[in-house]
Amino acid sequence: MKKLICLLLALTMVLGATTIVTAAEADEKIQLTLGNYPPDTDEAMIAAFDVYIENFSKKRPDVEVVPAHYFYALDTIVPMAEAGTLPVIIEPWYTEPQKLIEAGYVRSITELLKERGWDEMINPSIRDLLSKDGEIYGIPRDAYALGMHVNVDLFEQAGLVDENGVPMYPKTWDELVTVGTQIKDATGSAALCLLAQDNAGGWHWSNIAWGFGATLSVDNGDGTFTANLDSPEAIDAMEYIRDLKWEHDLLTADPLTENWGTGFTQVAVGNAAMYIGANDALNQTTVVNGLPLEDFALIPVPAGPGGQYSLNGGTVYMFAANATDEQVDAALDFMISMGRAPEVGAELIEGMGADAKSRMENGEPVVKRFPAWVGQAYSDAEAAIIAPFLNVDMALYQDYFDKVAEAGNLRLEEQGLTQEMYAELTKVMQEVLTNENADIPALMKTADTNYQKLLDDAGIGQ
């Protein structure tokens, strides 16, 4: 009996030891928590992620991938970052990187990028967005350039489509008044959905102002900036939107209730014919708000007397401050599996293919993405990969892609305290759009003074 008990005890110990060893082995695996994993409701994208994870796990069996969907939000990022519970990969929107870097909630990945040579391959405009003091803190997910989302059906009702059904859209801001008036008369819908509820108003307006020749924040080249919101060109651009509202009545009922999200809805439901929107949000008008693909077009931002520009920015991936080098390295490998890395190879091609297939199955326009990574090989590979999944008439998009490819067309956001500047501009827009007799030069002067004070207070004013 004693022997039996001894044997049982010995067996238990061996089993226990084995379990401990197995657990230890499991513990040794690098944990890669994916904040960019899609939400439960996005089945098509989850299927695509299954492919990514399967491919990745073959290459990196030492890594355990943990789906940890995290929707970036202002009220959750702070407690999670402070408590050290952020997933390794997070996907903040474009306004956030500098704040996250400043607060110490994300980590530098410069050395890891240099080892791979990726630091030189990031689209420079996005690299600036992700850098501070020479350190790079993230990689691009997508780049975008502002254009205009168009409801083709409204153009058609106003007789403004050519024989191929392509809208005869306004090439200049002056033409927008003519075309918009025709649309308004024929359909009763607004020509343009202009935003004025929050900082996105100032963001979109700055693209209009560039067309009038304005530069809103002068870079002095020594790390300081000077406010320039009250230049004659900026005043002209503000007067233009005043006229759109009060003289021509071409805007939606109340721009002060319009924000980034409602703009897509207004175009999709036919309340507005045009809305300043980018190529990375095509799904918003089509999938989210239900505009059929054949009724949707993407056109360039109209030109003004000062030229034609498209605001260029990007959406990004960043990495939690407490992520280890091994975890970030695994995350960068995972980007290859997702087709979001600059290294053109079989895995990247498969990842890009899965992404394009998922977008097609989702019913969103599959057109080429804006280059977040530089390099012809990458662009060529992408063009070839998405070709079988193209689901739209490219004539409805071609002018946009041609225009943003022109030299000098792309323009980065104004530098300095960009969000604060947008806030000041949005206030002026709100006054102009609610008060027909608003004194625009005086308002712009006040905005300029306020913005300069903020720059001075931050120690970057001059």
Partner 1 sequence: MPVSQKKNINRAISGWLIMLPTLILFAFYVWEPLLKIIQMSLYNAQGFTLTEFVGLDNYKSLLANPDFTIAWKNTFMYTFWSLIIGFCVPILLALLITETPVFRSLTRVAVYFPNILPGLAVMLIWLFFFKPGNAGVLNNILATVGIKPLTWLSAKGWTIPLIVVTMTWRSAGSTALIYMAGISGINPEQVEAATIDGAGIIRRIFSVILPSLTGLVKVMLILQIISVFQILYEPLMMTNGGPNNASISIMMLVYNYAFLHFDFPKAAAVSVMICIVLSLFTALYFVVSGRRGKE
Nearest residue (CB) to partner 1, 266 versus 310 = 266
CA distance 240 to 205: 11
Beta carbon of residue 387, minimum distance to partner 1 (angstroms, whole number): 42
Rg (CA), the chain: 25
Strand partners, 222: none
CA distance 160 to 112: 52
CA distance 159 to 153: 10
Beta carbon of residue 323, minimum distance to partner 1 (angstroms, whole number): 16
Nearest residue (CB) to partner 1, 84 versus 134 = 84
Nearest residue (CB) to partner 1, 410 versus 425 = 425
Beta carbon of residue 376, minimum distance to partner 1 (angstroms, whole number): 39
Token pair for residue 457? Answer: 């207070």
Beta carbon of residue 408, minimum distance to partner 1 (angstroms, whole number): 33
Segments of 100-197 assigned E as strands: 131-132, 135-136, 138-151, 190-193
Whether residue 46 contacts residue 38, with contact meaning beta carbons closer than 8 Å, is answered with yes
Nearest residue (CB) to partner 1, 318 versus 366 = 318
Beta carbon of residue 439, minimum distance to partner 1 (angstroms, whole number): 12
Beta carbon of residue 103, minimum distance to partner 1 (angstroms, whole number): 4
CA distance 52 to 45: 10
Residue in this structure with the two tokens 């850098």, named with its chain if needed: 131
CA 401, 402, 405, 408 dihedral sign is negative
The one-letter code for the residue type at 348 is L
Token pair for residue 186? Answer: 């024929």
Q: What is the DSSP letter of 247?
A: I
Q: Is 206 helix (H, G, I), strand (E, B) or coil?
A: helix
Segments of 29-83 assigned E as strands: 30-34, 63-67
How far is C-alpha 247 from the chain's CA centre?
33
Beta carbon of residue 449, minimum distance to partner 1 (angstroms, whole number): 8
Beta carbon of residue 425, minimum distance to partner 1 (angstroms, whole number): 11
**CB-CB neighbours of 59 under 10 Å:** 13
213: nearest Cα among 308, 149, 298: 308
Nearest residue (CB) to partner 1, 31 versus 446 = 446
Nearest residue (CB) to partner 1, 12 versus 434 = 434
Nearest residue (CB) to partner 1, 100 versus 341 = 100
Nearest residue (CB) to partner 1, 298 versus 432 = 432
Residues that bind partner 1 in the complex, under the rule CB under 8 A: 74-75, 78, 81-82, 99-100, 102-105, 196-198, 252-254, 256-257, 419, 424, 426-428, 430-431, 433-435, 446, 450, 453-454, 456-457
